[in-house]
């Protein structure tokens, strides 16, 4: 399960993620990060079932986080099955089933936004 960690308060010097891993013993890996001088966010992959406990350990350090689900919203009514998104997405979120219907595995998404930007039908929206 993914956890979106918000460093929007500018608290980028404190090693909150590392110390939460040490305190809880929960395995967490960084899938994607966006950091600037005044803050940013980190998308973590956290052991299934441990998201709430890890989030609480971050909160103790003044860092907000939330479970990230439904990262990509797919509007099948707009899609024309062109397949562009299947080649654009580096995380293999999109594929076709045996009937050539688009299948979206949104849990794999790392919020890069590329699919939403380039879908010719505007059939995809990325939520974060």
- Minimal CA–CA distance to 128: which of 43, 31, 57, 53? 43
Ranges assigned E (strand) in 8-123: 28-36, 39-46, 64-68, 72-74, 94-96, 102-104
Site for ligand SF4 in 88-127 (CB under 6 A): 88-89, 91, 93, 102, 109-115, 119-121, 123-124, 126
Q: Total residues contacting ligand SF4 (rule CB under 6 A)?
A: 27
- The runs of H, that is alpha helices, within 1-128 are 16-24, 51-60, 84-88, 114-118
Least CB distance to ligand SF4 at residue 42 (A)? 15
Nearer to ligand SF4, 42 or 57 (CB): 42
Tokens describing residue 82: 């062109």
Residue 3 sits in the site that holds ligand SF4 (CB under 6 A) = no
| CA distances, 59 to each of 5, 11, 53, 89 (Å) | 10, 12, 10, 32
Nearer to ligand SF4, 58 or 124 (CB): 124
Phi then psi for residue 39, to 5 deg, are 125, -175
Least CB distance to ligand SF4 at residue 95 (A)? 11
Site for ligand SF4 in 16-35 (CB under 6 A): none
The residues of the shown chain that bind ligand SF4, judged by CB under 6 A, are: 71-72, 79-85, 88-89, 91, 93, 102, 109-115, 119-121, 123-124, 126
């Amino acid at each position: 399960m993914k956890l979106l960690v918000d460093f929007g308060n500018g608290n980028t010097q404190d090693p909150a993620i590392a110390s939460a891993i040490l305190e809880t013993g929960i395995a967490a890996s960084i899938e994607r990060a966006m950091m600037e001088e005044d803050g940013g966010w980190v998308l973590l992959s956290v052991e299934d079932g441990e998201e709430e406990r890890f989030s609480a350990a971050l909160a103790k350090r003044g860092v907000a986080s939330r479970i990230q689900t439904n990262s990509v919203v797919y509007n099948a009514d707009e899609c024309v099955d062109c397949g562009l998104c299947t080649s654009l997405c580096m995380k293999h979120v999109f594929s076709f089933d045996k009937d050539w219907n688009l299948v979206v595995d949104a849990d794999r998404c790392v919020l890069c936004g590329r699919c939403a930007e380039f879908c010719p039908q505007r059939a995809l929206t990325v939520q974060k």
